[in-house]
Structure 1
Amino acid sequence: MTEPMTRITTAQIELVAPRAELDFFHQSSVHLPHAMTPLEAWTRITEEPLPLLGLAFKLRDAISARFGVTRIGGFSGEARTFVQEGDKLDFFLVETINDEVLTLSARDRHLDVLTCVTSVENTLTITSSVKVHNRFGWLYMLPVRPAHRLIVWAMLRRLKRNLG
């Protein structure tokens, strides 16, 4: 993993590669009514997945499995109050965990993904970075690019609404 490239207040945002070498980068933030740790936010976001997200994961798994990509199944909805580096949160590996940063990775021969959830005061930010390794990775990212932006936006909006 590379050195963190961006700083928001005191939380270090980790990327899968230097920013100039990324094949996909997306960052979205929301101001919440109260502060929460990145793990608390992640748990709230994934405990009740968005409608149709389960179908999207099933479709992803059905297509990707034909190219040797491990099935991920989607978000389990399992509430986790404690994780440590090296643990799994659904299909992601926990790379970094503290009160301001939760970094999750998923890597295979087609692409590497790093999702960094940061929480500074009342601002929650989700930063996703991808490094593609081959043609299938490029094809995979064609629908993921626009879908990812919409999904993260909807998840953050829903979290803010649910927190009141």
Structure 2
Amino acid sequence: MKIIETVLPNKSILKNDGVNYDFVDSFVGEFSDNKNTITSATIGKAFFTSAPNWVGKLFTLRNKIVSLFGLKTSGNSNDRQAQLDNFKCQEGEQLGLFKVFSKTEDELILGEDDKHLNFRISLFIDKQTENHNKSKLVISTTVKFHNAFGRMYFLPVRPFHKLIVPKMLKGIINQLENEK
């Protein structure tokens, strides 16, 4: 499966929300949806369950470090499975660090607002008109810095982000295709 860097889709909510972001990146991969049953909510749930184990360990480390600076963390993950079981991907819901800001049939916007920066993640389904059994999934990340601390915070995060997002996208697609 090929994952490539791309641009924020023109039809994305994030492209049309009027915010001038300080950082934007997008990655795309193709998946099969023979029954045309995969929705933004399906992809949202897969987002939370398909990351490699090492990503979870990085998040745990991140939470320990940033809590020292008073930044938001993903909280207690002891009941993570129960949280996942009850998660409906509805606007306003929160799972760990990620709040659902918006949801359409083809896009889910997750993210968080904090004192140093705001970030959004778009999980965008780009349905292919020429082949109805294939779709593209685009994961886009936007960041808006509020201060110098936000910029400093993101410096060491950025290289990990560029490694994590393509791996997560591949994991989401694998999970979607294996659940058929």
The residue identity in structure 2 corresponding to 1:14 is L
SS at match of 2:74: coil
TM-score, length-normalised on structure 1?
A: 0.81
- For residue 134 of structure 1, what is the aligned residue in structure 2? 147
Aligned partners of 2:50 and 2:171 also within 8 Å: no
1:71-130 per-position Cα deviation (integer Å, ceiling 9, x unaligned): 215984524562321111332221111211111120111000011111122111111100
- For residue 22 of structure 2, what is the aligned residue in structure 1? 23
SS at match of 2:159: helix
Between 73-82 and 85-94, report the one with greater CA deviation: 73-82
Provide structure 1 residue ranges, at least 5 long, that are not aligned to the other structure: 1-5
- For residue 161 of structure 1, what is the aligned residue in structure 2? 174
* Correspondence 1:112 to 2:118: yes
The residue identity in structure 2 corresponding to 1:66 is L
Aligned partners of 2:25 and 2:141 also within 8 Å: yes
Aligned partners of 2:51 and 2:167 also within 8 Å: no
The residue identity in structure 2 corresponding to 1:40 is T
TM-score, length-normalised on structure 2?
A: 0.75
- For residue 14 of structure 1, what is the aligned residue in structure 2? 14
Matched positions, count: 156
Seen in structure 2, the aligned counterparts of structure 1 residues 48 and 100 have a Cα distance that, compared at 3 Å, is closer
* C-alpha separation in 2, matches of 1:80 and 1:30: 28
**Which one has the largest radius of gyration?**
2
CA RMSD of aligned residues (A): 2.5
- For residue 46 of structure 2, what is the aligned residue in structure 1? 44
1:4-60 per-position Cα deviation (integer Å, ceiling 9, x unaligned): xx654xx433159757x3221111111101152122112123214312112211211
